[in-house]
Amino acid sequence: MENDNKLIDPFGRSVDYVRVSVTDRCDLRCVYCMPKSHKAFQTPSHWLTVDELTRVIGAFTSLGTRRVRITGGEPLTRPEILDISKQLSSITALEDLSLSTNAVQLHKYAQPLREAGISRINVSLDTLSSSRFKTITQGKLDKVINGLLAAKKAGFDPIKINMVVMKGVNDDEIFDMVKFCIENGFALRFIETMPIGVNGREASEQYINLQTVKEKLAQHYNLIPDIMPGGGPARYVRIDGTDAKIGFITPISQHFCETCNRVRLTADGTLYMCLGQNHQFALRPLLRSGISDEGLQEAIIEAIKLKPEKHEFIEKPSQVVRFMSMTGG
C-alpha cells in the first residue's frame, strides 16, 4: 500500500503505529510495572468506550497509521476485549492488529481472539521459575504456560516472549529462556529495564546493558542478523541452525528515538507521545463533546506536533512517575 501518512512529527519521523491501552487494571503485580499496593485505578466510566476507541483508531488510519497493538494494564481483564478486537480488525486500512498480554487468561481467550482478528500475540514472561514468578508478579506461572500453549494451538504465529532482564533477579535464566523458546517455536525479546514510576531507582539498580547479554549468547551460538514482522524497536538475530529469533529492545544502551514511529493511547483517551516524557494530549473530552471526524483528525495532527525528540531516562531518571500500567506497554 502506498505510504500516505500525514502524521509527521517535528523531527521528520512518520508516526504509523499506535499502542492502545484498553484498561489500566491488571491481574498481576509485576514489580517494575505496578506496585502491589497500587489501588488508584481509573473508574471504567473514564475508559474510552468500544465505539470511541474505534473512532480514534479510524481517525489514525485515515491519517496513515497502519499498525495497532492492544495493551493494558492487562487487556484480557477488559470485559469488552473481544468486541474491541472485532471492531478494530474491521477497519480496512489497518494492516496489523496485535495484542500484548501476561497470558494469565489466555487459555480461554486465545481462540476467540484469533477469530476476532488479532494477528499476533506478545507475552510478558520474565522467568521460568514458579517461585521467582510469584515474587516478580504475585501470580502463578502455570497459568501463563497454559495460555502460551493455547495461543500456539489457536495458530498464532509468531508468538513473542518479552523478558525484562534484571540484574540479580533473573539474569541467570537467559540461556534457559532461549532453550524454552527454541523448543516451543517462540520468538524471544530481551528488554532493558527503564526508570519509570515510583520504582525508577530500583529499576536503575537492576539495569543490565543488553549488549553484554548478546555477547554471552554469541559465545554459545552463531547469531545471524534477521528481522521480524512488527512496528516495534527490537533488533533481531537468528540462532544459526534453527528458526529461533532473538530480539533486543535497548531503550537505554542503544536508544532508538531517532526512528520512533509510535504514540500511546491510554484507556482514558490520553495520547502520550513518548514513554519517557510527559507530553500528552487529551482526546476523551473532545470525543464526548461531539467533535466531528475531521476535527478529531485535526486534533491528532496537533497532538503529534508535541512529540519530543527523545526520552531522558539517563539525564532525568526520576522524571516519569506514572506507572507503566497507566501508559500502556
pLDDT tens-place string over residues 25-38? 999 988 877 766 65
Which cell numbers hold the place of 213? 547479554
Instruction: Measure Cα distances from 223 to 192, 245, 273, 306 in Å.
Output: 20, 9, 34, 39
233 close to 276: Cβ distance less than 8 angstroms? no
Q: How far apart are the first and last CA of the chain?
A: 27
Half-sphere exposure of 238 (CA within 13 A, CB side): 11
Q: Quick one: pLDDT at residue 110?
A: 98
Q: Quick one: pLDDT at residue 316?
A: 52
Segments of the chain with pLDDT less than 50: 1-3, 198, 319-322
Q: Quick one: pLDDT at residue 32?
A: 78
Q: Quick one: pLDDT at residue 195?
A: 72
C-alpha 226 chain-centroid distance: 21
Separation CA 274–CA 280 (nearest Å): 9
Q: Which pLDDT tens digit goes with each residue over 164-187?
A: 999 999 999 999 999 999 999 999
Q: Quick one: pLDDT at residue 314?
A: 53
E strands, the chain, where?
Answer: 17-21, 67-71, 96-101, 120-124, 159-165, 187-192, 223-226, 235-239, 245-249, 262-265, 270-272, 280-282
